[in-house]
Amino acid sequence: MSYDYDLFVIGAGSGGVRAARMAASMGVKVAVAEVRHIGGTCVNVGCVPKKLFVYASQFGEEFEQAAGYGWEVGSRQFNWATLRDNKNAEIERLNGIYRNLLSNSGCELIEGRATLKNAHTVKVGTQHFTAQRILIATGGWPFIPDIPGREHAISSNEVFYLDQFPKRAIVVGGGYIAVEFAGIFAGLGTNTTQVYRRDLFLRGFDLDIRQFAAQEIAKKGVNLAFNKDITDIEKLANGSLKVTFNDGSCEETDCVLYATGRTPKVAGLGLEQTAIKQKENGAIIVNDQYQTNEPSIYAIGDVIDRHQLTPVALAEGTELVRRLFGNGGPEVDYSLIPTAVFSQPNIATVGLTEEQAKAEFGEIDVYKSDFRAMKQTLAGGVERTLMKLIVDKASDRVVGVHMVGPDAGEIIQGIAIALKAGATKQVFDSTIGIHPTAAEEFVTMREPSH
């Protein structure tokens, strides 16, 4: 049978663009359909604009601390419209780059909502396209629970485009997105409360890291309200929002941001027209080759809900295309995936938590260093840094590395390579540090803490 395309990609986010470009470079006839912005969540309403906002939110503290280093900083004022509009211009630039990457690689970009009609047919608008293979890379979508007044809350999609920046904000959630935005709001001068229904945020991270991060984040002015949840949001005549909590207390605020997770973006995709099966949360079920129950249809990235990380979607797209159209290649290794939380201070981690390592290896050594970084001395700052190494006693292999402190993400990226290579504690010990840096602590910790 003759098809319009060899590969039809639904979704022009990180994973979809990578797969489409790679396939086209191999001579495959490829089309990509996208209903929103080119580049997906990460470029438009995710990691890229969020990181820009994190940078912006750090300047207030930098201005304060500059005096200790001899700088006389004059009057200053944050202008939300300037940050928002400059960010918009940068995102538009990146959209253009992604668009050019697709067109220059030979892909056909079809702008509109794609719907599956059957195992080999996609409808976009009034047009129908056939393809030998279809790849679903539609990503995820923010989840806001169904509570009274939920229409008055915003998600991470809307926060980047606010007309007015709030003087008061409540951030709901305990994951990394909630932690990051609480820090952004507080750093930009907003009276910020982070509400989380459990007793400590960042579930899944190492317990020491979670506790230490809570201590340091509170120092930055974020009011941490654990074991608390919102039951109702009411809009008042003056434009403020009245928030009622499950303990009966109330609070007025200007903004309620829900960062309570993301769900696979599958609504209206037409999955029911195929044999594709889904998990309870809507995620598309795939095998080890990213193939769905419909043999001609594949899925990668957040929509399969394995690891909601841009680099993982890129790796999955790369592996899939190499196997389908190239000479194959290494499978995606989901172990030792480094990750960072761009909170203030940063959190970064790779490998096992202490709890996981104990369960897997039994006998472990734990090394910790808790200190005030050099920059804080003349600045008069109170921020502390925590570094932690977890070692399998039997093999001496380092199986987990965790950090809370400035540039944690930059530091852990390099250490992730060492763990991937199987570095032992002896390798860390024999590595000469760069002095004076915080990172050298990772190669100078000699005595286990327990």
Q: Which positions are catalytic?
A: 435
Angle at 216 between CA 214 and CA 51, to 5 degrees: 90
State the Cα–Cα distance between residues 365 and 448, nearest whole angstrom: 6
In sequence order, the 6+-apart residues with CB closer than 8 A to the CB of 359 are none
State the Cα–Cα distance between residues 283 and 22, nearest whole angstrom: 25
Q: Is 447 exposed, middle or buried (0-12, 13-18, 19+ CB in 10 A)?
A: exposed
* DSSP alpha helix (H) spans, 326-407: 354-361, 375-379
State the Cα–Cα distance between residues 117 and 128, nearest whole angstrom: 9
- Contact (Cβ atoms closer than 8 angstroms) between residue 330 and residue 380: no
What tokens appear for 19 in the block? 């797969």
Angle at 201 between CA 282 and CA 217, to 5 degrees: 135
Q: Is 72 exposed, middle or buried (0-12, 13-18, 19+ CB in 10 A)?
A: exposed
Q: Is 147 helix (H, G, I), strand (E, B) or coil?
A: coil
State the Cα–Cα distance between residues 260 and 284, nearest whole angstrom: 20
